[in-house]
Amino acid sequence: MPAMTGKRGLTCSKRRCFESELSHRFMLLIIKNTEAVTPQSSGVRDILIAAEKIAHIEDHIELPLSLAETIDGTGLIAVPGFIDGHVHITGGGGEGGFHTRTPELLVSDAVRGGITTIVGCLGTDGTTRSLAGLLAKARGLEAEGISTFICSGSYGVPLQTITGSIEKDLILIDKVIGVGEIALSDHRSSQPSIDEISRIAAEARRGGMLAGKSGVVNVHLGDGPRGLQFLERIIAETEIPSSQFLPTHINRNRKLFESAVGFAQRGGYVDFTTSTVPHFLDDGEIKCSTALRQMLESGVNVNQISFSSDGQGSMPDFDASGMLKGLTVGRVTSLWEEVRDAVLIEKIPLETALRVITLNPAKLLHLRRKGEIRPGYDADIVLLKKDSLTIDSVISRGKVLMRHGDLLAKGTFE
């Protein structure tokens, strides 16, 4: 077909391919007419994404349609991409022997769960799981489209590190943002002294400070009687602030939860684990959605609360004598499921419940440009169906990874 020459000399077909090349090359994406909860409720907006960033949020944005890929946001709610601060991305478990080592994370599970940022960590097994492997997997997930960070260490003290020191890991390894999960009040911990924990927190704090990172100490709480005592004493007896610690699994039993309410009322941050199994709930674990309502009713500010999934971590079931009865694997998809239940069952407003997996972890973990739909921030956006609050689409750093429930980008071997 003879190429027609438009008035600017570009042939139409050439201009169209140029423009589509432009939109492809510059990843111009516009989400039209969507309700936006950023996590503040912001009404119906148009959201323009340029390259990997959110460029504009306006009532109306008009662009020549050939310049930008367009998503019709009618009937959808745009929320910030979810942040899961505690995932065993290289697998965990092993508490029942080698055959109980759990599998590593598939990126498709994260995308299906609306998770666009993950913090990877090691757990019980800091021997056959390594920080080198954790860093490699984090980089692999990043190449597959989501944003990742890691924590140095594992359950055990002294901590496993990459460089030989907590401070150097934080200062020299870009993806390292903190340490953990360090086990306390658990029969699988190293039974560390309070001085050992103080020194770890001091090094993490100083390393984080020098690296412009959070240096968060992610503390695994088991079912042991000492509960949060070590953390309460360190905060009372040293200069280390409570914000240096993020105690997790605090919904695992009623006694620990009650002490965590006090810890939070005194300004501490607390993290609930969304992965669970029915008999844990029968045995006294508090479902995250319920725990959130109860903690808010106790007067704790929602900004001090986060959810994380413990995805791919083992959910071991020990009897009273510490014998393993069985174990299952945590799921990253439980993260949104629990926030959705908090809205639909516990009647917590979406813009409140959403904070525990967006703004709050972003702030506590110092994840810049994450956790909000805001110009200049990474274009991590989840589109929820307005009626069911199920996940329709997932955009990570400006790339559409799932659309109408269909994965557009699978993991390398999926």
In the complex, least distance from residue 274 CB atom to Zn ion, rounded to whole angstroms: 13
**By rule CB under 6 A, what string of x and - marks binding of each residue 244-283 to ligand FWO?**
-----x--x--------------------x------x---
In the complex, least distance from residue 365 CB atom to ligand FWO, rounded to whole angstroms: 18
Quote the DSSP letter at residue 5. Answer: B
316 binds ligand FWO (CB under 6 A): yes
189 binds ligand FWO (CB under 6 A): no
Query: Applying CB under 6 A, which part among 199-207, 310-318, 344-352, 398-406 lies near ligand FWO?
Result: 310-318
Among positions 23, 38, 117, 124, the unique one binding ligand FWO when judged by CB under 6 A? 124
In the complex, least distance from residue 101 CB atom to ligand FWO, rounded to whole angstroms: 9
**By rule CB under 5 A, what string of x and - marks binding of each residue 158-187 to Zn ion?**
-----------------------x------
Give the span between the Cα atoms of 271 and 365, in whole angstroms: 12
126 binds, among ligand FWO, Zn ion, none (CB under 5 to 8 A by kind): none
In contact, 382 and 394? CB cutoff 8 Å: yes
Chain centroid offset of residue 372 CA? 13
Please give, one letter per residue, the 3-state secondary structure of 90-155.
Answer: CCCECECEHHHECCCCCHHHHHHCCEEEEEECCCCCCCCCCHHHHHHHHHHHHHCCCEEEEEECCC
**By rule CB under 6 A, what string of x and - marks binding of each residue 192-231 to ligand FWO?**
----------------------------x-x---------
Give the span between the Cα atoms of 211 and 184, in whole angstroms: 26
Nearer to ligand FWO, 211 or 291 (CB): 291
Among positions 259, 274, 314, 396, the unique one binding ligand FWO when judged by CB under 6 A? 314
Query: Applying CB under 6 A, which part among 87-95, 141-149, 160-168, 196-204 lies near ligand FWO?
Result: 87-95
171 binds ligand FWO (CB under 6 A): no
92 binds ligand FWO (CB under 6 A): yes
93 binds ligand FWO (CB under 6 A): yes
**Measured on CA atoms in the order 264, 344, 409, 122, is the torsion positive or negative?**
positive
DSSP structure string for 36-105: EESSSEEEEEEEEEETTEEEEEES-----GGGSEEEE-TTEEEEEPEEEEEE-TT--B-BTBGGGBPPPP
Strands 305-308, 314-318: pairing is unpaired
120 binds ligand FWO (CB under 6 A): no
In the complex, least distance from residue 188 CB atom to ligand FWO, rounded to whole angstroms: 7
Helix (H, G, I), strand (E, B) or coil at 370: coil
93 binds, among Zn ion, ligand FWO, none (CB under 5 to 8 A by kind): ligand FWO
Residue with tokens 């097994």: 125
Count residues binding ligand FWO (CB under 6 A).
17
In the complex, least distance from residue 276 CB atom to ligand FWO, rounded to whole angstroms: 7
378 binds Zn ion (CB under 5 A): no
Partners of 246 in the β-ladder: 218
Q: Which two tokens stand for residue 24?
A: 């492809």
In contact, 243 and 215? CB cutoff 8 Å: no
In contact, 245 and 217? CB cutoff 8 Å: yes
Query: Applying CB under 6 A, which part among 38-46, 59-67, 172-180, 313-321 lies near ligand FWO?
Result: 313-321
220 binds Zn ion (CB under 5 A): yes
Q: Which residues contact 384 (CB under 8 A, 6 or more apart)?
A: 76, 77, 78, 79, 390, 391, 392
User: Which residue out of 310, 378, 380, 392 is catalytically annotated?
Assistant: 310
Nearer to ligand FWO, 84 or 372 (CB): 84
86 binds ligand FWO (CB under 6 A): no
Q: Is 282 among the residues known to form the active site?
A: no
Q: Which two tokens stand for residue 240?
A: 């280390």
Give the span between the Cα atoms of 199 and 177, in whole angstroms: 17
Question: Of 149, 162, 175, 167, which Cα lies nearest the Cα of 86?
Answer: 149
Give the span between the Cα atoms of 302 and 348, in whole angstroms: 11
Nearer to ligand FWO, 143 or 281 (CB): 281
In the complex, least distance from residue 353 CB atom to ligand FWO, rounded to whole angstroms: 21
Catalytic residues: 310
Interface residues with ligand FWO (CB under 6 A) are 88, 92-93, 102, 123-124, 220, 222, 249, 252, 273, 280, 310, 313-316
